[in-house]
Amino acid sequence: MKNGPFRWGILAPGNIANRFAQAFEAVNNGVVYGVASRSVERAQEFANQHNIPTVYNSYDALIHSSDIDAVYISSPHRFHFELVKSCLLAKKPVLCEKPLCVTAKQAKELIALSQQQNTFLMEALWTRCLPLWQQVRDWIAEGLIGDVVTIESSFGFVFPNDPNNRLYNIELAGGALLDTGIYNLAMSEFVMQKAPLAVHSSVEKSATHVDQRTTGLLDYGSATSVFTCTLVSELSNTFNIFGTKGRISIDANFWEAQHATLTPANGEKRVSHTPYRKNGFEYQIEEAQHCIEAGKLQSDRVSHEFTLRMANIMDDILEKGGVNYPFAPRS
């Protein structure tokens, strides 16, 4: 058994890394011990903001530090592959922001490397670890809405159409699907617990050649999931599950929801309120720590099989929509 708290290092401290660091106010037996950025000044500023004791002068220095138990990666999508690969080659457990990679080819290579190196790898799809969503799946498992027939969800905001913004930058793997639509896909799979039989989609590209609006239909045979993700319109941002005996509605924003309503066809409406201990990231952090300390190579909640399944679906949608990242060929 390891002495002392579990020590995390953060690579590429961007906006989302702030939420990760703040979550440690509620994380059991975990701390952020170090941070590294392409700019030492930026790393020092982040460390000062979050009371992180160690600033490393390079990514490699943090990755190879014996004082770091695991690495959290929060760089733009384009850089995930190389940073995760560096961690795995150094046998350093890694939790990487979603999407794990830009293509299924990259994801497959990293998952294989994780197995070869006997080193933990997890995609940071935090929604799948939230208490509210565990309640939603329990309601479904108990048969309280019967068989799932239809899922409807959306994730849409208006983002400035700036080619220098990472969301519109093709060289940084921008676009709606990889950044936001992955939540619609991930939580549809969470509900259905299997891969769709077929995927139908429509993609609208921006002037910078990323998908600024993607609409999809996932065909599960006995059920369908219809979703829209967009950078150009404010949507309801809810997630609704309709069954043969009722429905479940997850409030906006569904990917970070703390409220859901169960409405059986014959019975009393139930409302679940499951507030975070801090900001919601604490649950995926503790899931990763638990798995690493147990000697596991992957999380059951965000398994390698799931990550590769999502990557294949996104590949299919973007390829059909004519969105191609020049630095990451799909074959």
Residue 121 and residue 111 in contact, taking contact as beta carbons nearer than 8 Å: yes
When computed from its CA atoms, the radius of gyration of the chain, rounded to whole angstroms, is: 20
Summarised one tens digit per residue, pLDDT across range 2-50 is 679 999 999 999 899 999 999 999 999 999 999 999 999 999 999 999 9
User: Quick one: average pLDDT of 41-65?
Assistant: 98
Q: Which two tokens stand for residue 141?
A: 């498992």
Is 330 exposed, middle or buried, given 0-12, 13-18 or 19+ CB atoms closer than 10 A?
middle
Q: Which two tokens stand for residue 54?
A: 């160690």
User: Over the chain, what is the mean pLDDT?
Assistant: 97
**DSSP states of 36-71:** E-SSHHHHHHHHHHHT-SEE-SSHHHHHT-TT-SEE
H runs (alpha helix) in the chain: 15-22, 40-50, 59-63, 80-89, 104-117, 131-141, 176, 182-192, 281-293, 304-320
Residue carrying the six token digits 């959306």: 154
β-bridge partners, 76: none
Summarised one tens digit per residue, pLDDT across range 204-253 is 999 999 999 999 999 999 999 999 999 999 999 999 999 999 999 999 99
Summarised one tens digit per residue, pLDDT across range 266-281 is 889 999 999 999 999 9
Summarised one tens digit per residue, pLDDT across range 275-307 is 999 999 999 999 999 999 999 999 999 999 999
* Cα gap 53→44, rounded to integer Å: 10
Q: Is the peptide bond before 253 cis (omega within 30 degrees of 0)?
A: yes
Q: Which domains are assigned to the chain? A: 6-127 (3.40.50.720), 131-279 (3.30.360.10)
Sheet holding 211-219, edge to edge: 198-205, 211-219, 224-230, 148-156, 239-243, 246-250, 259-264, 270-273
